[in-house]
Protein backbone atom coordinates (compact mmCIF):
# COMPACT_ATOMS: atom_id res chain seq x y z
CA UNK A 1 0.00 0.00 0.00
CA UNK A 2 1.37 3.46 0.88
CA UNK A 3 4.93 2.53 1.82
CA UNK A 4 8.15 4.48 1.45
CA UNK A 5 9.28 2.00 -1.22
CA UNK A 6 6.11 2.58 -3.26
CA UNK A 7 6.48 6.35 -2.97
CA UNK A 8 10.08 6.09 -4.20
CA UNK A 9 8.95 3.91 -7.11
CA UNK A 10 6.16 6.33 -7.98
CA UNK A 11 8.56 9.29 -7.85
CA UNK A 12 10.69 7.71 -10.56
CA UNK A 13 7.69 6.73 -12.70
CA UNK A 14 5.99 10.15 -12.70
CA UNK A 15 9.19 11.88 -13.81
CA UNK A 16 8.44 10.48 -17.26
CA UNK A 17 5.47 12.84 -17.69
CA UNK A 18 5.71 15.65 -15.13
CA UNK A 19 7.32 19.07 -15.26
CA UNK A 20 9.74 20.08 -12.52
CA UNK A 21 7.75 22.41 -10.25
CA UNK A 22 10.36 23.90 -7.96
CA UNK A 23 9.27 25.75 -4.84
CA UNK A 24 8.65 29.48 -5.23
CA UNK A 25 9.47 31.63 -2.21
CA UNK A 26 6.69 34.19 -1.68
CA UNK A 27 7.85 37.55 -0.35
CA UNK A 28 4.22 38.70 -0.42
CA UNK A 29 2.71 35.91 1.72
CA UNK A 30 5.79 35.73 3.95
CA UNK A 31 5.43 39.43 4.81
CA UNK A 32 1.69 39.05 5.38
CA UNK A 33 1.98 36.08 7.72
CA UNK A 34 5.34 36.46 9.47
CA UNK A 35 6.38 33.04 8.18
CA UNK A 36 8.61 31.79 5.36
CA UNK A 37 6.02 30.81 2.78
CA UNK A 38 6.84 28.70 -0.27
CA UNK A 39 4.48 27.82 -3.12
CA UNK A 40 4.50 24.41 -4.83
CA UNK A 41 3.21 25.42 -8.30
CA UNK A 42 1.50 22.30 -9.62
CA UNK A 43 -0.56 24.66 -11.79
CA UNK A 44 2.54 24.67 -14.01
CA UNK A 45 2.22 20.97 -14.88
CA UNK A 46 1.65 20.14 -18.54
CA UNK A 47 -2.00 19.29 -17.90
CA UNK A 48 -2.36 22.26 -15.57
CA UNK A 49 -2.62 20.24 -12.35
CA UNK A 50 -1.00 17.60 -10.14
CA UNK A 51 -3.53 14.92 -11.13
CA UNK A 52 -1.31 13.54 -13.89
CA UNK A 53 0.96 12.07 -11.18
CA UNK A 54 -1.63 9.71 -9.73
CA UNK A 55 -3.22 8.82 -13.06
CA UNK A 56 0.04 7.95 -14.78
CA UNK A 57 1.37 5.95 -11.82
CA UNK A 58 -1.92 4.03 -11.61
CA UNK A 59 -1.73 3.12 -15.29
CA UNK A 60 1.84 1.94 -14.84
CA UNK A 61 0.61 -0.62 -12.27
CA UNK A 62 -2.21 -2.02 -14.46
CA UNK A 63 -1.83 -5.15 -16.54
CA UNK A 64 -1.84 -4.88 -20.32
CA UNK A 65 -5.29 -6.52 -20.36
CA UNK A 66 -6.72 -4.00 -17.87
CA UNK A 67 -5.46 -1.10 -19.97
CA UNK A 68 -6.71 -2.55 -23.26
CA UNK A 69 -10.26 -2.85 -21.92
CA UNK A 70 -10.32 0.93 -22.05
CA UNK A 71 -10.26 3.31 -19.10
CA UNK A 72 -13.06 5.30 -17.53
CA UNK A 73 -13.17 7.86 -14.76
CA UNK A 74 -15.26 10.69 -13.35
CA UNK A 75 -13.77 14.09 -12.71
CA UNK A 76 -14.52 17.78 -12.39
CA UNK A 77 -11.63 18.36 -14.79
CA UNK A 78 -8.09 17.94 -13.57
CA UNK A 79 -8.13 14.17 -12.99
CA UNK A 80 -9.92 13.92 -16.34
CA UNK A 81 -7.00 15.55 -18.09
CA UNK A 82 -4.53 13.44 -16.13
CA UNK A 83 -6.20 10.16 -17.14
CA UNK A 84 -6.71 11.33 -20.73
CA UNK A 85 -3.04 12.29 -21.09
CA UNK A 86 -1.81 9.10 -19.38
CA UNK A 87 -4.07 7.00 -21.62
CA UNK A 88 -2.67 8.78 -24.67
CA UNK A 89 0.88 7.96 -23.51
CA UNK A 90 -0.08 4.26 -23.27
CA UNK A 91 -2.13 4.34 -26.49
CA UNK A 92 -5.39 3.18 -24.90
CA UNK A 93 -8.99 4.42 -24.93
CA UNK A 94 -10.24 6.74 -22.20
CA UNK A 95 -13.83 7.74 -21.40
CA UNK A 96 -14.27 10.65 -18.99
CA UNK A 97 -17.56 11.49 -17.24
CA UNK A 98 -17.59 15.14 -16.17
CA UNK A 99 -20.26 17.17 -14.34
CA UNK A 100 -22.25 19.46 -16.63
CA UNK A 101 -20.92 22.41 -14.59
CA UNK A 102 -17.28 21.70 -15.53
CA UNK A 103 -15.52 24.78 -17.00
CA UNK A 104 -15.28 24.63 -20.79
CA UNK A 105 -11.47 24.85 -20.77
CA UNK A 106 -11.26 21.58 -18.82
CA UNK A 107 -13.72 19.82 -21.14
CA UNK A 108 -11.92 20.94 -24.29
CA UNK A 109 -8.47 20.09 -23.00
CA UNK A 110 -9.63 16.64 -21.96
CA UNK A 111 -10.95 16.07 -25.48
CA UNK A 112 -7.70 17.41 -26.95
CA UNK A 113 -5.81 14.46 -25.40
CA UNK A 114 -8.04 12.06 -27.34
CA UNK A 115 -10.52 11.13 -24.61
CA UNK A 116 -14.25 10.68 -25.09
CA UNK A 117 -16.11 13.08 -22.77
CA UNK A 118 -19.57 12.39 -21.32
CA UNK A 119 -21.23 15.28 -19.45
CA UNK A 120 -23.51 14.09 -16.67
CA UNK A 121 -24.85 15.41 -13.33
CA UNK A 122 -24.40 18.69 -11.51
CA UNK A 123 -21.59 17.59 -9.16
CA UNK A 124 -18.75 15.08 -9.13
CA UNK A 125 -20.65 12.47 -7.10
CA UNK A 126 -23.42 12.21 -9.72
CA UNK A 127 -20.88 11.94 -12.53
CA UNK A 128 -19.06 9.22 -10.61
CA UNK A 129 -22.19 7.08 -10.22
CA UNK A 130 -22.79 7.29 -13.98
CA UNK A 131 -19.15 6.37 -14.70
CA UNK A 132 -19.53 3.21 -12.60
CA UNK A 133 -22.63 2.29 -14.60
CA UNK A 134 -20.77 2.76 -17.91
CA UNK A 135 -17.79 0.76 -16.62
CA UNK A 136 -20.08 -2.15 -15.76
CA UNK A 137 -21.92 -1.91 -19.08
CA UNK A 138 -18.81 -1.77 -21.30
CA UNK A 139 -16.21 -3.53 -19.18
CA UNK A 140 -13.96 -0.48 -18.81
CA UNK A 141 -11.27 -0.30 -16.12
CA UNK A 142 -12.31 2.38 -13.62
CA UNK A 143 -9.63 4.84 -12.41
CA UNK A 144 -10.90 6.55 -9.27
CA UNK A 145 -9.79 10.19 -8.93
CA UNK A 146 -9.01 9.93 -5.21
CA UNK A 147 -10.31 6.83 -3.40
CA UNK A 148 -7.46 4.58 -4.54
CA UNK A 149 -4.26 4.10 -2.53
CA UNK A 150 -2.26 3.62 -5.74
CA UNK A 151 -3.49 6.92 -7.17
CA UNK A 152 -2.82 8.57 -3.80
CA UNK A 153 0.74 7.21 -3.88
CA UNK A 154 1.30 8.96 -7.19
CA UNK A 155 -0.03 12.23 -5.80
CA UNK A 156 2.23 11.87 -2.75
CA UNK A 157 5.31 12.29 -4.95
CA UNK A 158 4.74 16.02 -4.44
CA UNK A 159 5.84 15.60 -0.81
CA UNK A 160 9.01 13.81 -1.93
CA UNK A 161 9.93 16.83 -4.07
CA UNK A 162 9.11 19.28 -1.27
CA UNK A 163 11.41 17.48 1.18
CA UNK A 164 14.26 17.32 -1.33
CA UNK A 165 14.13 21.10 -1.73
CA UNK A 166 13.15 22.08 1.81
CA UNK A 167 14.10 19.29 4.25
CA UNK A 168 13.24 21.39 7.33
CA UNK A 169 9.72 22.31 6.23
CA UNK A 170 7.42 22.79 9.26
CA UNK A 171 3.95 22.90 7.67
CA UNK A 172 2.48 21.63 4.40
CA UNK A 173 -0.95 22.96 3.41
CA UNK A 174 -2.81 20.70 1.00
CA UNK A 175 -6.19 21.22 -0.75
CA UNK A 176 -8.89 18.61 -0.17
CA UNK A 177 -11.73 17.51 -2.41
CA UNK A 178 -12.06 13.77 -1.98
CA UNK A 179 -8.77 13.42 -0.13
CA UNK A 180 -6.42 11.62 -2.55
CA UNK A 181 -3.78 14.35 -2.68
CA UNK A 182 -3.96 14.87 1.09
CA UNK A 183 -3.61 11.12 1.66
CA UNK A 184 -0.46 10.81 -0.43
CA UNK A 185 1.17 14.01 0.81
CA UNK A 186 0.38 13.53 4.50
CA UNK A 187 1.33 9.83 4.56
CA UNK A 188 4.72 10.36 2.91
CA UNK A 189 5.39 13.53 4.92
CA UNK A 190 4.84 11.66 8.19
CA UNK A 191 7.05 8.80 7.00
CA UNK A 192 9.85 11.28 6.29
CA UNK A 193 9.30 13.45 9.38
CA UNK A 194 6.70 12.46 12.00
CA UNK A 195 6.90 15.94 13.57
CA UNK A 196 5.78 17.82 10.46
CA UNK A 197 2.32 19.40 10.48
CA UNK A 198 0.14 18.60 7.46
CA UNK A 199 -2.99 20.75 7.28
CA UNK A 200 -5.87 19.98 4.92
CA UNK A 201 -7.85 22.88 3.44
CA UNK A 202 -11.44 22.57 2.23
CA UNK A 203 -14.03 25.01 0.85
CA UNK A 204 -16.49 25.92 3.62
CA UNK A 205 -19.30 24.93 1.25
CA UNK A 206 -17.85 21.46 0.57
CA UNK A 207 -16.24 20.39 3.86
CA UNK A 208 -16.96 16.68 3.53
CA UNK A 209 -13.72 15.53 5.19
CA UNK A 210 -14.08 17.90 8.12
CA UNK A 211 -17.57 16.57 8.81
CA UNK A 212 -16.37 12.98 8.38
CA UNK A 213 -13.52 13.47 10.85
CA UNK A 214 -15.97 14.94 13.37
CA UNK A 215 -18.26 11.94 12.94
CA UNK A 216 -15.40 9.43 13.05
CA UNK A 217 -16.61 7.87 9.80
CA UNK A 218 -17.15 8.80 6.16
CA UNK A 219 -20.27 10.93 5.78
CA UNK A 220 -21.98 12.45 2.75
CA UNK A 221 -22.93 16.11 2.67
CA UNK A 222 -26.52 16.79 1.57
CA UNK A 223 -25.22 19.36 -0.92
CA UNK A 224 -22.11 21.31 -1.84
CA UNK A 225 -21.86 24.96 -2.85
CA UNK A 226 -18.51 26.51 -3.73
CA UNK A 227 -16.71 28.28 -6.57
CA UNK A 228 -13.85 25.80 -6.04
CA UNK A 229 -15.28 23.32 -8.55
CA UNK A 230 -12.28 20.98 -8.37
CA UNK A 231 -12.97 20.30 -4.69
CA UNK A 232 -16.78 20.29 -4.80
CA UNK A 233 -17.11 16.74 -3.43
CA UNK A 234 -19.92 15.43 -1.19
CA UNK A 235 -18.19 12.29 0.10
CA UNK A 236 -14.49 11.71 0.86
CA UNK A 237 -12.82 8.44 -0.09
CA UNK A 238 -13.62 5.50 2.22
CA UNK A 239 -10.49 3.48 1.31
CA UNK A 240 -8.16 6.38 2.05
CA UNK A 241 -10.07 7.72 5.07
CA UNK A 242 -7.97 5.78 7.65
CA UNK A 243 -4.79 7.40 6.26
CA UNK A 244 -6.33 10.85 6.60
CA UNK A 245 -7.44 10.18 10.17
CA UNK A 246 -3.92 9.06 11.04
CA UNK A 247 -1.80 11.62 9.19
CA UNK A 248 -3.69 14.91 8.89
CA UNK A 249 -3.10 17.26 11.82
CA UNK A 250 -5.98 19.65 11.19
CA UNK A 251 -8.55 20.92 8.70
CA UNK A 252 -9.03 24.58 7.77
CA UNK A 253 -12.10 25.72 5.83
CA UNK A 254 -12.09 28.72 3.51
CA UNK A 255 -15.00 30.87 2.32
CA UNK A 256 -15.49 31.59 -1.38
CA UNK A 257 -14.85 35.32 -0.85
CA UNK A 258 -11.38 34.50 0.47
CA UNK A 259 -10.62 32.58 -2.73
CA UNK A 260 -11.69 35.55 -4.85
CA UNK A 261 -9.25 37.85 -3.05
CA UNK A 262 -6.52 35.18 -3.16
CA UNK A 263 -6.86 34.97 -6.96
CA UNK A 264 -6.27 38.70 -7.27
CA UNK A 265 -3.25 38.53 -4.93
CA UNK A 266 -1.73 35.62 -6.85
CA UNK A 267 -2.11 37.29 -10.24
CA UNK A 268 -0.77 40.65 -9.06
CA UNK A 269 2.08 39.43 -6.87
CA UNK A 270 3.19 36.18 -8.52
CA UNK A 271 1.86 36.60 -12.08
CA UNK A 272 0.32 33.13 -11.87
CA UNK A 273 -3.15 31.90 -12.77
CA UNK A 274 -4.29 29.44 -10.09
CA UNK A 275 -7.80 27.97 -10.07
CA UNK A 276 -10.04 28.41 -7.05
CA UNK A 277 -9.36 24.94 -5.63
CA UNK A 278 -5.63 25.54 -5.97
CA UNK A 279 -5.94 28.77 -4.02
CA UNK A 280 -7.37 27.10 -0.91
CA UNK A 281 -3.93 26.74 0.65
CA UNK A 282 -2.89 30.38 0.23
CA UNK A 283 -6.27 31.63 1.48
CA UNK A 284 -5.74 29.42 4.55
CA UNK A 285 -2.39 31.01 5.47
CA UNK A 286 -4.00 33.75 7.56
CA UNK A 287 -5.90 31.11 9.54
CA UNK A 288 -2.64 29.58 10.81
CA UNK A 289 -1.70 31.01 14.20
CA UNK A 290 2.07 30.52 13.85
CA UNK A 291 5.11 32.75 13.23
CA UNK A 292 8.60 32.12 11.93
CA UNK A 293 7.76 28.75 10.36
CA UNK A 294 8.63 27.28 6.99
CA UNK A 295 5.32 26.68 5.25
CA UNK A 296 4.60 25.15 1.84
CA UNK A 297 1.26 25.86 0.16
CA UNK A 298 0.47 23.39 -2.61
CA UNK A 299 -1.13 25.12 -5.60
CA UNK A 300 -2.96 22.11 -6.98
CA UNK A 301 -4.02 23.45 -10.39
CA UNK A 302 -4.46 26.35 -12.75
CA UNK A 303 -7.24 25.31 -15.13
CA UNK A 304 -9.66 28.21 -15.08
CA UNK A 305 -11.72 29.38 -18.04
CA UNK A 306 -11.46 33.02 -19.09
CA UNK A 307 -15.08 33.89 -18.26
CA UNK A 308 -14.69 32.62 -14.69
CA UNK A 309 -11.36 34.41 -14.45
CA UNK A 310 -12.94 37.70 -15.52
CA UNK A 311 -15.74 37.34 -12.96
CA UNK A 312 -13.31 36.48 -10.15
CA UNK A 313 -11.07 39.47 -10.95
CA UNK A 314 -14.04 41.85 -10.92
CA UNK A 315 -15.35 40.49 -7.63
CA UNK A 316 -11.85 40.63 -6.15
CA UNK A 317 -11.51 44.30 -7.06
CA UNK A 318 -14.88 45.03 -5.46
CA UNK A 319 -14.02 43.13 -2.28
CA UNK A 320 -10.74 45.03 -2.03
CA UNK A 321 -12.54 48.40 -2.41
CA UNK A 322 -10.72 49.05 -5.66
CA UNK A 323 -14.01 49.31 -7.50
CA UNK A 324 -17.12 50.71 -5.84
CA UNK A 325 -20.36 52.49 -6.71
CA UNK A 326 -21.93 55.53 -5.07
CA UNK A 327 -25.32 57.10 -5.63
CA UNK A 328 -25.73 60.89 -5.37
CA UNK A 329 -28.79 63.07 -5.91
CA UNK A 330 -28.37 66.16 -8.12
CA UNK A 331 -30.59 69.00 -9.29
CA UNK A 332 -31.45 68.41 -12.96
CA UNK A 333 -29.67 71.41 -14.41
CA UNK A 334 -26.58 72.02 -16.59
CA UNK A 335 -23.15 71.80 -14.97
CA UNK A 336 -24.04 69.48 -12.07
CA UNK A 337 -22.40 66.41 -13.63
CA UNK A 338 -19.27 68.43 -14.31
CA UNK A 339 -19.14 69.55 -10.66
CA UNK A 340 -19.29 65.96 -9.38
CA UNK A 341 -16.65 64.83 -11.89
CA UNK A 342 -14.39 67.66 -10.76
CA UNK A 343 -14.65 66.60 -7.08
CA UNK A 344 -13.73 63.01 -8.01
CA UNK A 345 -10.89 64.09 -10.32
CA UNK A 346 -9.29 66.17 -7.57
CA UNK A 347 -9.13 63.01 -5.42
CA UNK A 348 -7.56 60.99 -8.29
CA UNK A 349 -10.63 58.80 -8.58
CA UNK A 350 -11.17 57.13 -11.95
CA UNK A 351 -14.77 56.99 -13.22
CA UNK A 352 -15.46 53.77 -15.13
CA UNK A 353 -19.27 53.95 -15.46
CA UNK A 354 -22.09 56.48 -15.03
CA UNK A 355 -25.85 55.83 -14.74
CA UNK A 356 -28.19 58.84 -14.85
CA UNK A 357 -31.75 58.23 -13.64
CA UNK A 358 -34.22 61.11 -14.13
CA UNK A 359 -37.13 59.17 -12.66
CA UNK A 360 -35.93 58.86 -9.05
CA UNK A 361 -38.32 61.69 -8.12
CA UNK A 362 -41.50 63.15 -9.60
CA UNK A 363 -39.81 66.56 -9.26
CA UNK A 364 -36.87 66.33 -11.69
CA UNK A 365 -35.65 69.82 -10.88
CA UNK A 366 -35.36 68.81 -7.22
CA UNK A 367 -33.36 65.64 -7.80
CA UNK A 368 -32.10 63.11 -10.32
CA UNK A 369 -29.95 60.14 -9.34
CA UNK A 370 -26.39 59.71 -10.56
CA UNK A 371 -24.73 56.34 -9.91
CA UNK A 372 -20.98 56.50 -10.31
CA UNK A 373 -18.80 53.39 -10.51
CA UNK A 374 -15.22 54.28 -9.59
CA UNK A 375 -11.78 52.75 -9.51
CA UNK A 376 -9.75 53.48 -6.37
CA UNK A 377 -6.42 52.37 -4.87
CA UNK A 378 -8.12 50.63 -1.93
CA UNK A 379 -10.19 51.26 1.20
CA UNK A 380 -8.37 54.45 2.28
CA UNK A 381 -8.70 56.05 -1.13
CA UNK A 382 -12.36 55.04 -1.33
CA UNK A 383 -13.06 56.75 2.03
CA UNK A 384 -11.19 59.84 0.85
CA UNK A 385 -13.36 60.15 -2.27
CA UNK A 386 -16.58 59.67 -0.33
CA UNK A 387 -15.55 62.32 2.22
CA UNK A 388 -14.77 64.79 -0.58
CA UNK A 389 -18.27 64.27 -1.98
CA UNK A 390 -19.77 64.73 1.49
CA UNK A 391 -17.80 67.96 1.96
CA UNK A 392 -19.55 69.26 -1.16
CA UNK A 393 -22.94 68.31 0.34
CA UNK A 394 -23.66 65.50 -2.15
CA UNK A 395 -24.62 62.90 0.50
CA UNK A 396 -23.13 59.89 -1.37
CA UNK A 397 -24.71 56.51 -0.67
CA UNK A 398 -22.81 53.28 -1.33
CA UNK A 399 -24.79 50.86 -3.53
CA UNK A 400 -24.15 47.43 -5.04
CA UNK A 401 -21.65 47.47 -7.88
CA UNK A 402 -22.75 45.86 -11.15
CA UNK A 403 -20.09 45.88 -13.83
In the set 40, 51, 58, 382, the catalytic residue is: 51
Question: Catalytic pick from 58, 277, 300, 382?
Answer: 300
Strand partners, 38: 25, 296
Half-sphere exposure of 27 (CA within 13 A, CB side): 3
Strand partners, 71: 94, 141
What would the DSSP string read from start to end of 333-378? Answer: STTHHHHHHHHHHHTT-EEEEEEEETTSSS-TTT-EEEEEEEE-SS
Q: How many CA atoms lie within 13 A of 92 on its CB side?
A: 22
Question: 277 catalytic, yes or no?
Answer: no
- Give the DSSP H or E segment for 399: strand 397-399
Nearest to 283 by CA among 78, 39, 75, 20: 39
Asked if 300 is an active-site residue, the reply is: yes
Cα–Cα distance between 68 and 62 in angstroms, integer?
10
DSSP 393: T
Catalytic site residues?
51, 300
Amino acid sequence: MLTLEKFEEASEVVKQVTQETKLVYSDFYSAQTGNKVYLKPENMQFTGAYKLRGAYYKLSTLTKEEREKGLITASAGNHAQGVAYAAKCYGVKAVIVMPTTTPLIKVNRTKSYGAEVVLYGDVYDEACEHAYELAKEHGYTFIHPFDDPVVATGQGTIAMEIFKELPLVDYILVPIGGGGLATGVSTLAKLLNPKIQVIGVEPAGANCLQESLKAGKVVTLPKVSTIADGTAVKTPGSKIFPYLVKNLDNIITVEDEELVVAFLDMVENHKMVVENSGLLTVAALKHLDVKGRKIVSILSGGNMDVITMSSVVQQGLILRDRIFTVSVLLPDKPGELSRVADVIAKQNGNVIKLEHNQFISINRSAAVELRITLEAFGSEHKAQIIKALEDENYKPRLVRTNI
